[in-house]
């Protein structure tokens, strides 16, 4: 199956050439050798270091219609010392899709995103593919929970939503929510395969939550994180939120979840909570 266009293959060719040209043999542990016609590594060097056939790599770099597997592209990424952004670009050119998420990859949330969330007059938080909450604005504390009072390893939305008693008061509503989030989590898990901490979370939740254990066996999936749920505020009563999420540009493994009012009455109550705020909070 032809997954890339001729224009993409030409672009891939130029990208690979420029990446090997900037690397000297000494940097990758090769002897300087004799005179080289071009600066940087030769095609044969790249192929040998990446564990590839020299002929096959030459075809790839020439822009021929060959298909590169994830394993091959990961090997080339390491061999050519690609940055995170360059690795993502390589996968986009070669496979016409984003690169798989890396389990060990530590993401930094841009300061601009932090300031944007702090300026919002509605709850917003940032989660990882494993649904660990790594940032939240003050409206989250005022409306939902105070993550700062929790141990960092307990700041996981799946664990909170599936085990906290307040979410299980209405069995029908709880089951609907559990089905929705488990179906989305299954997609996130598939994109972060090989992450031991993700495996540990699934094992833990399967042990402590019979509902999760049964739903996890279901084939249902959801690629979008959206939903409507009711918050029972101690002073203001019921507030209905609808939430959606957005991938952080340049940081594809992080997702911003924003909770907006679902109706006019809820909007009024959220605005009232916002007026009581003393100012933004940094995590």
Q: pLDDT tens, 80-108? A: 998 877 888 898 888 887 777 665 455 68
Determine which helix (DSSP H) or strand (DSSP E) holds 67, and give its type and residue range.
none
Per-residue pLDDT averaged across 158-182, rounded?
Answer: 92
> Between the CA atoms of 258, 154, 249 and 94, what dihedral angle is there, to the nearest 10 degrees?
-130
| Res 3 pLDDT > 60 | no
Least confident of 57-61, 83-87, 123-127, 139-143: 83-87
Residue 226: per-residue pLDDT? 85
| Res 77 pLDDT > 80 | yes
In angstroms, the CA 266 to CA 272 distance is 10
Residue 102 C-alpha from the chain's centroid? 9
pLDDT digits (tens, 9 = 90+) for 36-48: 666 788 899 999 9
Phi-psi region of 194 (alpha: psi -120 to 50; beta: other; left: phi over 0): left
| Res 200 pLDDT > 70 | yes
In angstroms, the CA 32 to CA 222 distance is 53
In angstroms, the CA 200 to CA 191 distance is 16
**Nearest CA-CA partner of 259 in 134, 121, 157:** 121
Q: What mean pLDDT is reported for the chain?
A: 86
Residue 234: per-residue pLDDT? 82
Q: Does the model's pTM come out above 0.75?
A: no
* Per-residue H/E/C for 121-185: CCCEEEECCCCEEEEECHHHHHHCCCHHHCCHHHCEHHHHHHHCHHHHCCHHHHHHHHHHHHHHH
- For the record, the structure tokens of 261 come out as 């009012």
Determine which helix (DSSP H) or strand (DSSP E) holds 260, and give its type and residue range.
strand 251-261
- For the record, the structure tokens of 83 come out as 């940055």
Q: Are 20 and 54 in contact (CB under 8 A)?
A: no
Percentage helix, strand, coil, to 5, in the chain? 50, 15, 35
111-275 CATH fold: Beta-Lactamase (3.30.450)
pLDDT digits (tens, 9 = 90+) for 255-274: 999 999 999 999 999 999 88
Q: Are 45 and 28 in contact (CB under 8 A)?
A: yes
**Winning range, highest mean pLDDT, from 4-18, 116-130, 222-236, 264-278:** 116-130
Residue 264: per-residue pLDDT? 94
Residue scoring higher pLDDT (233 or 26)? 233
Residue with tokens 């019921």: 238
| Res 247 pLDDT > 70 | yes
Residue scoring higher pLDDT (113 or 190)? 113
Strands 133-136 and 227-233: unpaired
6-95 CATH fold: 434 Repressor (Amino-terminal Domain) (1.10.260)
The segment(s) of the chain belonging to CATH 3.30.450.180 are 111-275
- Calculate helix-pair angle for 6-21, 84-95, nearest 10 degrees: 150
Residue 36: per-residue pLDDT? 60
The confidence band for 277, taking pLDDT boundaries of 50, 70 and 90, is low
The segment(s) of the chain belonging to CATH 1.10.260.40 are 6-95
In angstroms, the CA 178 to CA 198 distance is 18
Residue 183: per-residue pLDDT? 92
Residue scoring higher pLDDT (35 or 39)? 39
């Amino acid at each position: 199956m032809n997954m890339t266009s001729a224009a993409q293959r030409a672009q891939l060719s130029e990208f690979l050439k420029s990446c090997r040209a900037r690397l000297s043999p000494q940097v990758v542990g090769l002897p300087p050798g004799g005179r080289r016609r071009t600066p940087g590594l030769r095609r044969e060097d790249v192929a040998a270091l990446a564990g590839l056939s020299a002929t096959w790599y030459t075809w790839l770099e020439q822009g021929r219609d060959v298909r590169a597997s994830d394993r091959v592209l990961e090997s080339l990424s390491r061999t050519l010392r690609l940055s995170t952004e360059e690795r993502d670009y390589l996968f986009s050119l070669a496979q016409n899709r984003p690169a798989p998420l890396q389990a060990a990859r530590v993401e930094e949330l841009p300061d601009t995103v932090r300031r944007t969330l702090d300026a919002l007059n509605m709850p917003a938080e940032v989660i990882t593919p494993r649904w660990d909450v790594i940032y939240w604005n003050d409206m989250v504390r005022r409306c939902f929970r105070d993550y700062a009072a929790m141990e960092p390893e307990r700041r996981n939305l799946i664990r909170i939503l599936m085990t906290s008693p307040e979410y299980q008061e209405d069995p029908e509503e709880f089951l609907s929510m559990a089905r929705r989030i488990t179906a989305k989590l299954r997609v996130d898990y598939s994109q972060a395969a090989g992450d031991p901490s993700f495996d540990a979370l699934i094992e833990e939740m399967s042990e402590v939550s019979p509902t999760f254990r049964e739903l996890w066996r279901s084939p249902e999936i959801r690629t979008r994180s959206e939903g409507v749920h009711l918050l029972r505020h101690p002073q203001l009563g019921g507030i209905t939120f609808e939430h959606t999420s957005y991938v952080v540009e340049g940081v594809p493994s992080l997702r911003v979840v924003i909770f907006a009012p679902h109706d006019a009455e809820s909007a009024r109550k959220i605005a009232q909570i916002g007026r009581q705020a003393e100012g933004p909070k940094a995590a």
